Structures are given as structure tokens and as C-alpha cells.
Amino acid sequence: MPKATSIAPTNIAFIKYMGRKDEALRLPENASVSMCLDHLLTTTTVEFSPTLTLDSITINGEQEDGEASRVIKHLDRIRKLAKIDHRAKVVSQNNFPTGTGLSSSSSGFAALTLAGCKAAGLDLNQRELSILARQGSGSACRSVPDGFVEWGDADTSEESYGKTIFAPDHWDIADVVAIVSTGRKTVKSSTAHQSVVDGPYYRTRINRMAEKVQRCKELILAKDFLSFGTLCEEEAMDLHVIFMSAGIIYLTPQSLELIKLVPQWRAEGLPVYFTLNTGQDVHLLCEKKDAKVVQDKLKGLDFVREVIVNEPGKGARMSAKHLF
């Protein structure tokens, strides 16, 4: 069977998915809205072969043990759909640090889904690919379609997928990512999804989510950057309130130092807002025309190790450049 390679972006959620109503199927408690990031990419090559006796998984040059079982489970889903039994060789490469809150599982499982399905001889449409990617990592369903994406809060697997609400060129905004540490986060997103639901503020959050998702979509449509940025920051703080009230702390002193500078930069006339995921790295949202100034500000901070400027990007796609 011929090998297949795909490239998929990570995505940054403006309104976040946190907590699941179905653990096994990864059905979210609430809808979310995100944007695919054009410079944070995973490339994955998959080959199913009758000569292999075991699945072999290499991520960023290292033979995987820890993540392997999750990847193998996903290969099993693909094998079941394709009605094949061959083991697979999977080689995957991120062009960014893994496990620091840059959502490598979203790009990773989107790329694995597309390359895996093609390599298995399946021809799924975008909706089917997104549904499948979701079962590997929830947010991966939003890395399949292009641009600005909504993932609803449907009650069934068949209805739970990411779809483009605006094309990448709808709005010239940027997500300037500040990497403040290369250490891996200590609590995985999967653990967070399970822990937060019993926290004291979780239901309060959930009750506000439909309205927030609606408002976010309206602000993207209207290209109202200041109101959009304000909403994104409020949402990021809300997410970390529910983390902290469940005993989970992702932010490091460096993350805090940076997010405290953001309102100061605004007061000086730079329209920039932050958002955060399950990790210590900070995403700064600004209009594309201001991305260079934001990048320079970040480069001036000694605790920022790397800065990656992203614009709205395409979703998962095939590539002719195989990794093996």
C-alpha cells in the first residue's frame, strides 16, 4: 500500500473547549471557535505494510512509548474503517516545541487522520475526517477545515465536527506566540478535561458558553478587533480560573509577567490581547499591521525564548514530501 503524507496546522481557540459530556467519543460540553495557525505545523507520513509486525511511531525523531498507545488507538480506528489489519509505520514532525501549550495534539491528530486514511485507501470527506480526528484529540477536529472554525456542542458523534465559518483571508489578524519555556506541561489536557467538571465554577462557565460563542462569531464577522480581543482575554482568564479552582496551575512566573504587560502595551496605544491554553506559552492576538511591533516587543523580553507569528491558515492537506 502506498505511503501518504499530510500537513496540518495547530489551531488557537478564541472560545475554548474544556470538559466533555462523552469521554470516549470526546464530545465537548460546549461549542468552541478557533483559527488555524499558518506557521505551527505537523507533518506526518503513514504507511501500512503487511511486512510489519508492530506499529512503529516516531515523533520528532524519537521512537514513542508514552504517546504511542493513543496513536495506536487512532490507527485502530482507521484500520477498522478501512477493514485492513496491517501494522503501520508513522513518522511525525512538528516545526515547534511539543507539550508547552501550543496544541501539538490538534495538528498531530489532524495530520495523522488525513495521512492515515489516505494510506489505508479511504476517501473520507472533510466532515468525516474531522469527526475521526476529534476522537484522537478533541481540538484536532478544528485543524481539519480551513481558517476560522466552529465546533458545535452536538450530542452525537456524527454531528460533532469542526466547520469553516470564515475563510483564512476573511480577516487580517495575527496570533503572535511567545514561547516562555521549553519544559513540558505537567498536567495533560485530557486530565484537565476530567478534573475541571467537578470544580465550583465549572457550571457557571458552561451556562455562559453559548452566548460567548455567538458573540465571538458576530465580532469576527464585524471585524471588531477591540471587542473581540476583550472577549478572548476574558475567556482565557475564565479558563484558567476553572483550572486553578480544580488545583491545576499551568501559568509560570514568565507567563504571568507577560500577560501583565499586555494591558500596559494597550495603554501605550498598541491594540494587543492575550489568550492561553493548557500550558505556559502565551498567544498574543493583534491585527496583522501590528504584528511586527508585537514581535519586537516580545523579542525585547529576556524570558521569551522564541516568537512565532501566525496568520489565519489552511486546514489539513496532503503533501508530496514524505518523511521516510
| Residue numbers at the binding site for ligand PMV (CB under 6 A) | 13, 16-18, 32, 103, 105-106, 137-139, 189-190, 193, 277-278
Q: How many Å is the Cα radius of gyration of the chain?
A: 19
Q: Are strands 4-15 and 32-49 parallel, antiparallel or unpaired?
A: antiparallel
Whichever of 13 and 178 has its CB closer to ligand PMV, that residue is: 13
Query: Distance (Å, rounded) from C-alpha 295 to C-alpha 58?
Result: 33
Query: Distance (Å, rounded) from C-alpha 286 to C-alpha 229?
Result: 8
> Strand runs (DSSP E) across the chain, as ranges?
4-15, 20-22, 27-28, 32-49, 56-59, 62-63, 87-94, 148-151, 162-166, 173-179, 272-276, 282-287, 306-310, 317-319
Whichever of 244 and 270 has its CB closer to ligand PMV, that residue is: 244
Query: Distance (Å, rounded) from C-alpha 115 to C-alpha 99?
Result: 22
Burial of residue 303 (CB within 10 Å: 0-12, 13-18, 19+) is middle
Minimum distance between the CB of residue 20 and ligand PMV, rounded to whole angstroms? 9
Minimum distance between the CB of residue 276 and ligand PMV, rounded to whole angstroms? 8
Whichever of 45 and 139 has its CB closer to ligand PMV, that residue is: 139
Whichever of 3 and 11 has its CB closer to ligand PMV, that residue is: 11
Whichever of 19 and 265 has its CB closer to ligand PMV, that residue is: 19
Whichever of 4 and 102 has its CB closer to ligand PMV, that residue is: 102
Minimum distance between the CB of residue 266 and ligand PMV, rounded to whole angstroms? 24
Q: Give, in degrees to the nearest 5, the angle at Cα 141 between 18 and 94.
A: 95
Minimum distance between the CB of residue 143 and ligand PMV, rounded to whole angstroms? 10
Whichever of 17 and 48 has its CB closer to ligand PMV, that residue is: 17
Minimum distance between the CB of residue 129 and ligand PMV, rounded to whole angstroms? 16
Q: Is 113 left (phi over 0), alpha (psi -120 to 50) or beta?
A: alpha
Minimum distance between the CB of residue 146 and ligand PMV, rounded to whole angstroms? 17
Minimum distance between the CB of residue 271 and ligand PMV, rounded to whole angstroms? 23
Whichever of 32 and 44 has its CB closer to ligand PMV, that residue is: 32
One-letter amino acid at 114 equals: L
The answer to whether 5 and 115 have CB atoms below 8 angstroms apart is yes
Q: Are strands 173-179 and 62-63 parallel, antiparallel or unpaired?
A: unpaired
Whichever of 89 and 240 has its CB closer to ligand PMV, that residue is: 240
CB neighbours of 99 closer than 8 A, spacing ≥ 6?
Answer: 184, 185, 279
Minimum distance between the CB of residue 141 and ligand PMV, rounded to whole angstroms? 9
Q: Is 132 left (phi over 0), alpha (psi -120 to 50) or beta?
A: alpha
Minimum distance between the CB of residue 219 and ligand PMV, rounded to whole angstroms? 17
